[in-house]
Structure 1
């Protein structure tokens, strides 16, 4: 099982003083953090796309290109690219460039977008939400598999006998599909034989077992080799030396970001009992020391048959110092013990 880190590039916000961290500072921190991930031996890094004041990253491929220059081994991908509002041709070119800069370490994680700011920004109608994703995913796969492309769809001019440059170093760039709890999205990924990443960011993770089974059934029914199946989970995580201390210090940061997002989605205020329940045995949060994290990751590996675990580690923008400590613990204590147990 691969173990790595996903981020959205949250900026630090102090609502009492009005302080908002600059994108410049947060981006420089992210590059240092990815460099450390590579040094401690983590398998992959993913960065998300957002177009909001509380996130610093609107173009994952730019960050990944910068990270390619300071890393040697770690895979570099989006988490996610909102392909519904993107031009798949430009997206493929950008990630091919990252693949060349990183000597074949680029990945794309395609998502429909749980945040919808990119649709009006780039001139797309939310009424076409589902159709845009379906068509653009298929175009992206066509670009990835064919050097000379012929294409006709409903949302762009046709492509006639075009070669898209540059070509990647890898024969094909790995393309994952990120899903929440939508059955149709799970079935689509299974039919296409694409690796799938489930975002489990609330409730009891065991409730996702039926969706994993639906995916595997669609994957097998459409002629794909189960020996090659790749399934992962993306879960809010943060690590420290002491269980109670890391929980006490992280709750205000995490809760504040949940409330900022919740204001636009009519969520009630996020509470400490919610946080503590999420950290419990049947919860969705992996926040604590290395021993707790190892136990939880192994539990989810057994429950879902995982090939990848992604720790979403910057929710609410903990301090850079605490991020670096969390990354160090993940890479030097958690990941080695998980892999030792599985071997």
Structure 2
């Protein structure tokens, strides 16, 4: 099992969030972690520090020498593939060929003020964009209409360091998205927020079948899963320390996704006390079964279960509201978990 670091901070304390990003990236580089992933988010506190993963990834590339530098994810329908190829070629050159991309279709209509005509065809644009991005990365030309109305053929610069760029497709739980990733010969970046263990197992089966049917071969299978992570030497203390920041993080994500607390038909909005009780209950279940929150020994069974499903990388989301120095200290225990897994 490989371990990377994943960032998706809530809030607007940019100096501290970027300090955590860069110091954690240096740690990941020194300790042999697989990658540092940063997302693309727009127009909301949730994910606020990360409007452009090529910018944050360039910063990570400049302070590291070994760790992979990845987008988690580029919302491809918001951009012309020409711009994606240009920006990530810069990251690839700065990093010496360590860049990689997860590509997402996007879901929030507010994000699509950047490309309003693309919302209804967002999934189709990801499929087309994979082909376009690969061709541009290899030095191929693309045709676009110029201001005079004439078609113009262009190539992107700078040329990247790598001959080809590793790609993942971000899949929240749709079986179709997993199958498309397999068809395209891409990896999958997923999570356990919106899918059960049974759904995840079925989706991974669909992914593997699609890879083989498309002729890519099982050796192309790459699956990364994002897990909220806080590993310490005391499981009980870890669970209690993470409780308040995680429940606040969960509340903010509900606001972003337009979710409300479940309640009986005709009932009014839940009280603040009821909401706290609901989130606390959700935290107990989620933290104990779908997160790396606890001691090394307590986290190991979850890693083993994921490995049995065919997952080969955990993208550890570490910036969900704990203090910067607290998170950085805890990374030593995450590195110990990584070493334990390497010994098995």
Name which of structure 1's ranges 258-267 and 61-70 shifts more when overlaid on structure 2. 258-267
Partner of 1:277: 285
Counterpart among 194, 205, 222 of residue 197 in structure 2: 205
1:222 deviation in Å? 0.9
Contact 2:92 2:162 in 1 (8 A): yes
Write the distance in 2 (CA, Å) between the matches of 1:127 and 1:198: 23
Distance 1:194 1:204 in 2: 23
The reply to whether residue 239 of structure 1 matches residue 231 of structure 2 is yes
Q: Identify the residue that residue 16 of structure 1 maps to in structure 2.
A: none
Taking a change above 3 Å as real, the CA distance of residues 131 and 202 of structure 1, as seen in their structure-2 partners, is closer
CA separation in 2, counterparts of 1:43 and 1:158? 45
The CA deviation at 1:122 is: 4.1
Q: Which runs of 4+ in 1 moved over 6 A?
A: none
SS in 2 for 1:198: strand
Residue 22 to residue 274, structure 1, CA distance change in 2 (3 Å):
closer
Q: Distance in 1 between matches of 2:101 and 2:195?
A: 27
What does the per-residue CA deviation read over 1:101-139, in whole Å, with 9 as the maximum and x for residues that have no partner?
Answer: 011111111111244432113444532333333333332
Q: 1:110 aligns with which of 100, 103, 115?
A: 103
Count of residue pairs brought into register by the alignment:
323
Q: Is contact 2:106-2:122 (8 Å) kept?
A: no
Q: Provide TM-score, normalisation by structure 2.
A: 0.87
Pick closer, same or farther for the CA change 1:217–1:227 going to 2, 3 Å.
same
**1:287 deviation in Å?**
1.1
Deviation string, structure 1 residues 11-47 (Cα, Å, up to 9, x no partner): 3xxxxxxxxx432332233112211221222111101
- The gaps in structure 1 that reach 5 residues or longer are 12-20
How far does the alpha carbon of each residue in 1:222-247 deviate from its partner, in whole angstroms, 9 at most, with x for none? 11121232122222222222111111
Shift of 1:325: 1.8
Tell me the C-alpha RMSD between the 2 structures.
2.2
Q: Is the 8 A contact 1:4 1:309 kept in 2?
A: yes
Query: Normalized against structure 1, the TM-score is what?
Result: 0.87
Task: Report SS of the residue matched to 2:290.
Answer: coil
1:325 aligned to 2:322?
no
The separation in 2 between residues aligned to 1:228 and 1:122, in whole angstroms, is: 32
Bigger Cα displacement from structure 2, 109-118 vs 209-218: 109-118
Alpha-carbon distance in 2 for matches of 1:257, 1:266: 13
Q: Give how far 1:83 is off.
A: 0.8
